[in-house]
Amino acid sequence: MVQQQHQAYKMNSVNTASPGELTLMLYNGCLKFLKFAKKGMEAKDMELKNTNIQKAQAIINELMLTLDQSIDIANQMMPLYDYINQRLIDANIHNNLESLDEAYEMVESFRDTWKEVVKLTRTKQYSKGVQA
């Protein structure tokens, strides 16, 4: 019963999130999978490592696909996402913890920046609502 309620809550959160909040959720999910991958790598559990690196790569690929190419910053982000993806490939193939950590740090930096963008956007929206 509790599990069903938790799943319903998560689905509702996704269905009602703004595009900015969805992007933040993707970054957070990617970081979660990278943590699990690191645990798998450290425990020499290759299945855990591989599965979670692939999940993180799927998120990075989704972020790449959803970049709006008409915005200048997208042209700067695309190579960074590609680099993260390459680091994840290296981490997976060679069990390279340094590559995994580097990818984690980059995603974490994107997430932290994006969190601030979402926060500023909310503040602007709420302040406009109060004035209206």
Q: What is the pLDDT of residue 15?
A: 63
pLDDT of residue 97: 98
Residue 70 DSSP label: T
Mean pLDDT of 65-85: 93
Under the banding of pLDDT at 50, 70 and 90, the label for residue 123 is confident
**Residue 81: what pLDDT?**
98
Close Cβ partners of 53 (under 8 Å, ≥ 6 residues apart): 33, 34, 37, 88, 91, 92, 100
Q: What are the structural domains, with CATH classification, of the chain? A: 19-123 (1.20.120.340)
Query: pLDDT tier at 7 (50, 70, 90 boundaries)?
Result: low
Q: Name the residue with tokens 């969190």.
A: 115
Q: What is the pLDDT of residue 121?
A: 87
The confidence band for 124, taking pLDDT boundaries of 50, 70 and 90, is confident
Q: Are 114 and 27 in contact (CB under 8 A)?
A: yes
Contacts of 3 (CB under 8 A, 6+ apart): none
Mean pLDDT of 62-74: 92
pTM (2 d.p.):
0.84
CA-CA distance, 105 to 123, in Å (whole number)? 27
pLDDT tens-digit series, residues 38-57: 999 999 999 999 999 999 99
What is the distance of C-alpha 126 from the center of its chain?
Answer: 26
